[in-house]
Amino acid sequence: MDEQISPDRLQGQLIAYTVLLEAVLRTLPAQSLKSIRSDFQTNGSEVEGHLLNTPGTEAMLDAYRSTVESTQELLTKIHQQAIFRDSAAGRL
């Protein structure tokens, strides 16, 4: 079966992926989230550096930067909630 990927289908898959990822991240302890945030920030900057040295459009780079920024915001929010949750439960 030859399936074609449409922008709407891809967007739907990305939304589903994001919802699943967020649900998994919310189950992790605050200390694990701290490490994940740090690693994500490092890796995001490293990948951006590689993208700057490869052929591609400015739109692609802008989309990548936007995705990294929104993911960092999400990780920060979830990490702060985990700190509060773990502190209230006496795990910090």
Question: Mean pLDDT across the stretch 1-16?
Answer: 75
Q: What is the largest CA-CA distance in the chain?
A: 54
Q: Tell me what pLDDT residue 31 has.
A: 96
Phi, psi (degrees; rounded to nearest 5) at 81: -65, -35
Amino acid at 2: D
Question: Mean pLDDT across the stretch 65-88?
Answer: 94
**Got the DSSP string for the chain?**
------HHHHHHHHHHHHHHHHHHHTTS-HHHHHHHHHHHHHHHHHHHHHHHTSS--HHHHHHHHHHHHHHHHHHHHHHHHHHHHHHHTT--
**Band of residue 3 on the pLDDT scale cut at 50, 70, 90:** low
Read off the pLDDT of residues 25-74 as tens digits, 9 standing for 90 and up. 999 999 999 999 999 999 988 988 888 888 877 888 888 898 889 889 99
Residue 2 pLDDT greater than 60, yes or no: no
